[in-house]
Amino acid sequence: MFRRSGWEMSLYLTFPVVMFWISNQAEWFEDSVIQRKRELWPREKEGQRQELEEFKQKIRKQREERLLKAAQQNP
Residues in contact with 28: Cβ distance below 8 Å, sequence separation at least 6, in sequence order: 22
HEC assignment per residue over the chain: CCCCCHHHHHHHHHHHHHHHHHHCCHHHHHHHHHHHHHHHCCCCCHHHHHHHHHHHHHHHHHHHHHHHHHHHHCC
Mean pLDDT of 1-13: 75
Give the model's pLDDT for residue 2.
55
Predicted TM-score (pTM) of the model is 0.42
Per-residue model confidence as pLDDT tens digits over 49-64: 889 999 999 999 999 9
Per-residue model confidence as pLDDT tens digits over 13-24: 898 898 888 878
